[in-house]
Amino acid sequence: MRFASIGSGSRGNGTLVQADDTLLLVDCGFALKETIARLARLGVEPQQLSAILVTHEHGDHCSGVRVLANRYQLPVYMTAGTARSKALVDVAQMNIIDSYSSFSVNEVIVQPVAVPHDAAEPVQFVFHWQARCLGILTDIGTITPFVKQYYQACDALLLESNHCLDMLARSDYPSSLKLRVSGRFGHLSNAQAADLLEDIDLARLQHLVIAHLSEKNNTLERVQKSMEKVIQNVSNVLFACQEQGFDWLSVNQSVGYVVSHMSRDVA
């Protein structure tokens, strides 16, 4: 299994997930020409896509979905709430998913996870394929116990660390926007992302990709500082950027942990 990004941030998102011949695009917030160019950088042509999965109807995630899907006759999966968006009503091959029920695209099992975010019926996704587990978690205002449960023990995790609260407070954003971004239904701050990483099991984590960074209210240094204690033991930590996304990362099967038992017969 492997994954890559065609771009991450408030000006457009798109994540590729591939397992054998199944190639999924999670969200598409770029115009058609731009999407094709960004896919090409990763060696992908749109007709190779098996399906598009949409997390929610915000423009940075869905603005390119309808045109891409209809042009290349791709099936699209989203919740009923997301499907009500004007930008998505004309999607030809619409598949409505339940926020709480897993579904599969070929051999890949997809678990939607309902998240607190200011959209109609937003979800994020955890992918399972042959004992590998990849979690994608962005556009979430609060980490709930429910969410935490689904992101335990991933082999790879793409996680939002949107803003530094201090930078956001000092920014020139109007106060309504500051409240929206930092609110229960907004985006994860660096501190919230670090808290999640402290609470979940990182033993299996091969790649941690920090994503959906605010270009105005965050810096790589601030993210690193917030997370320095928690990410020491993660083998590969990298940042997804707005322009380049990130290149393919392989997710390998974790080596099982051998538990040795002391023999009770030993005196």
57 binds Zn ion, rule: CB under 5 A: no
Nearer to Zn ion among residue 58 and residue 128 (C-beta): 58
Q: What is the dihedral of CA 41, 45, 51, 52, to 10 degrees?
A: 40
If binding means CB under 5 A, how many residues of this protein chain bind Zn ion?
A: 3
Residue 36 to residue 242: CA distance in whole angstroms: 16
Residue among 10 and 206 whose Cβ is closer to Zn ion: 10
- 207 near Zn ion (CB under 5 A): no
**Residue from 57, 60, 155, 160 that binds Zn ion (CB under 5 A)?**
60
- Residue range at the interface with Zn ion (CB under 5 A); choices 35-43, 51-59, 77-85, 98-106: 51-59
58 binds Zn ion (CB under 5 A): yes
DSSP state of 155: S
Query: Measured from the CB of residue 145, what is the shortest distance to Zn ion in angstroms?
Result: 22
Residue with tokens 């999966």: 77
Of 122-151, which residues contact Zn ion (CB under 5 A)? 139
Nearest residue (CB) to Zn ion, 162 versus 206: 162
Cβ pair 218, 164 in contact under 8 A: yes
Note whether 161 and 227 are within 8 A (CB). yes
Kindly list the strands in the beta sheet with 51-53, ordered across the sheet, starting from the edge strand earlier in the chain: 94-97, 76-79, 51-53, 22-26, 14-19, 2-7, 246-250
Cβ 138 to Zn ion, closest distance in Å? 6
CB of 180 to Zn ion, least distance (A): 10
* Cβ 91 to Zn ion shortest distance, Å: 19
Angle at alpha carbon of residue 176, lines to 215 and 224, rounded to 5°: 30
DSSP category for residue 175: H
Q: Which residue, 212 or 222, is less far from Zn ion as judged by CB? A: 212
Binding site for Zn ion (CB under 5 A): 58, 60, 139
